[in-house]
Amino acid sequence: MAYSIAIDGPAGAGKSTIAKAAAKRLGFIYVDTGAMYRAMGLYMLREGIDGDDEETQSARCAEAQITICYEDGVQQVYLNGENVNALIRTEEVGKMASAVARNKDVRLQLVYLQRALAERENVIMDGRDIGTYVLPDATCKIYLTASVEERGRRRFLELRAKGIDCDLEEIKADIEARDQQDMNRDFAPLRQAEDAVLLDSSDLGPEEVVEEVLRIFEESCE
């Protein structure tokens, strides 16, 4: 049986940074499920489909063939044969991803892919519903969070380091709006699984968080 570590939590909690580093240490595959929703969001944006138009999203989501492969250990997301890794990290795509992620048909299509990956390999998978819905029997589950102040500050510094002009208050408002949308949708909303360990990284550096994740994993294997 393959091992699986589920990491869920709100936007900007550092899930991908931590999951990537922990996967490297353990020799596991890192599965970034947010990237799959982002690829679906990109498809809907390109097709001019509205974020609130559930009916059209349901009718057309199967047109978006989303596949994953790994190049030098880095996850690559393909949308209908095109590598879209470099196109899905914008705020516009992130917002659309959160909007289309409310749609049950979209979710079922992507969850199928996520479960298939976890069946074959030892994975550390991050997202919003991994511990509660995608992998209910994961070897260990972690709910990684941090205060909105801290998540906003990190995102602000990240954008500034890339030379992108931004406003801290606006970033915090966007993060809160996305969390509300992800927590309040009907199907598989963001919440902490009953058997997940809560890890608040507000006052911890990335190395400390990775160590804590590895410790929690080892403990759950005992």
CB atoms within 10 A of CB 57: 24
Residue nearer to ligand DC on the CB measure, 97 or 197: 97
Closest distance between ligand DC and the C-beta of residue 38, in Å? 6
Q: How far apart are CA 163 and CA 1, in angstroms?
A: 45
Position 152 contacts ligand DC (CB under 6 A)? no
CA angle 189, 217, 77 (to 5 degrees): 55
Which residue's structure tokens are 């598989």? 188
* Min dist. Cβ of residue 222 to ligand DC (A): 28
How many residues of this chain interact with ligand DC, rule: CB under 6 A?
15
Closest to ligand DC by CB, 25 vs 89, is 89
Closer Cβ to ligand DC, 66 or 101, answer by number: 101
Nearest CA to 193 among 132, 124, 142? 132
Farthest-apart Cα atoms in the chain, separation? 50
Which CB, 31 or 197, lies closer to ligand DC?
31
Give, for 54, the enclosing helix (H) or strand (E): helix 54-60
132 near ligand DC (CB under 6 A): no
Q: Are 43 and 79 in contact (CB under 8 A)?
A: yes
Q: Candidates 84, 101, 123, 148: give the one binding ligand DC (CB under 6 A).
A: 101
Task: Report the residue from 4, 57, 98, 201 that binds ligand DC according to the rule CB under 6 A.
Answer: 98
Contact between residue 136 and residue 84 where contact means Cβ atoms under 8 Å apart: no
| Token pair in block for residue 102 | 């409310």
C-alpha–C-alpha distance, residues 42 and 44, integer Å: 5
Q: Which region among 20-28, 45-53, 123-131, 141-149 touches ligand DC (by CB under 6 A)?
A: 123-131
Angstrom distance (rounded) from CA 38 to CA 74: 17
Nearer to ligand DC by Cβ, of 89 and 160: the residue is: 89
Binding mask 19-58 for ligand DC (x = CB under 6 A): --------------xx--xx--------------------
Q: Which residues bind ligand DC (CB under 6 A)?
A: 11, 33-34, 37-38, 94, 97-98, 101, 127-130, 178, 182
